[in-house]
């Protein structure tokens, strides 16, 4: 029993620190830039009396600040010069940004700030043989690299429901830790 009590006294602040760290990370106020591809498509334009048939490729990149603070200097780099490669670009909604050439020959869009919840869609239209994976590079901001989502976004449940779910998760974690401690004490009394 004495050995277990000593182990518990050492483990208790460590477990408390880990739980506190998890809780603080959940409520931390910081920007969080996420990125996902809205669509990737190829169109075959039918011939008319004025032109022959041709193909076009298109894709969109959605950049969103899912955090609680503004994301500063969000950079959207490209492998190539968009004008030189005849890539047509549209930014929606109309959001202030600047374009600059990168040292390696690529081009970068710089959004000075994305406020919490702000979402910007960048649509690209270009011609074969160019494909979407030859255009974009990883996106970043002053706060770090953007997280790439591989699923389509969905509406979040209401905040009150999320708070209840997190409270239940925390209560369940505390219950499991308490049950393990009691089980350990019980085993220690049976062994002694």
Contact between 149 and 36 (Cβ < 8 Å): yes
pLDDT for residue 59: 93
pLDDT for residue 61: 94
Task: Give the tens place of pLDDT for each residue, 48-60.
Answer: 888 888 889 999 9
Domains (range + CATH), the chain: 2-18+157-191 (no CATH), 33-148 (2.60.40)
**Spatial separation of the C-alpha atoms in residues 16 and 178, rounded to whole Å:** 12
Half-sphere exposure of 161 (CA within 13 A, CB side): 3
What are 166's two structure tokens? 């997190």
Based on the number of CB atoms within 10 Å of its own CB, is 146 exposed (0-12), middle (13-18) or buried (19 or more)?
A: buried
pLDDT above 90 (res 174): no
Task: Give the tens place of pLDDT for each residue, 82-95.
Answer: 888 889 999 999 99
pLDDT above 80 (res 4): no
Task: Find all residues with CB under 8 Å of 22, minimum gap 6, and list them.
Answer: none
Give the H or E element holding residue 88: strand 88-92
Query: What's the sign of the alpha-carbon dihedral 174, 175, 178, 180?
Result: negative
pLDDT for residue 175: 83
pLDDT for residue 88: 93
Task: Give the tens place of pLDDT for each residue, 136-156.
Answer: 999 999 988 999 888 766 788
């Amino acid at each position: 029993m004495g050995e277990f009590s000593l182990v518990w006294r050492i483990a208790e602040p460590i477990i408390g620190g880990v739980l506190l760290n998890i809780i603080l990370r959940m409520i931390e106020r910081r920007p969080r830039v996420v990125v996902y591809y809205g669509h990737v498509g190829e169109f075959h334009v039918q011939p008319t009396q004025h032109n022959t048939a041709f193909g076009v490729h298109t894709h969109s990149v959605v950049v969103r600040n899912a955090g609680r603070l503004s994301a500063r200097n969000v950079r959207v780099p490209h492998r190539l010069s968009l004008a030189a490669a005849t890539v047509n670009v549209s930014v929606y909604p109309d959001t202030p940004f600047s374009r600059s050439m990168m040292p390696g020959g690529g081009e970068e869009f710089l959004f000075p700030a994305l406020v919490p919840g702000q979402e910007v869609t960048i649509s690209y239209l270009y011609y074969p043989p160019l494909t979407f994976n030859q255009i974009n590079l990883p996106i970043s901001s002053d706060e770090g690299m953007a997280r790439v989502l591989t699923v389509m976004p969905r509406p979040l449940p209401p905040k009150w429901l999320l708070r209840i779910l997190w409270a239940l998760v925390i209560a369940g974690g505390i219950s499991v830790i308490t049950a393990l401690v009691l089980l350990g004490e019980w085993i220690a009394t049976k062994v002694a």
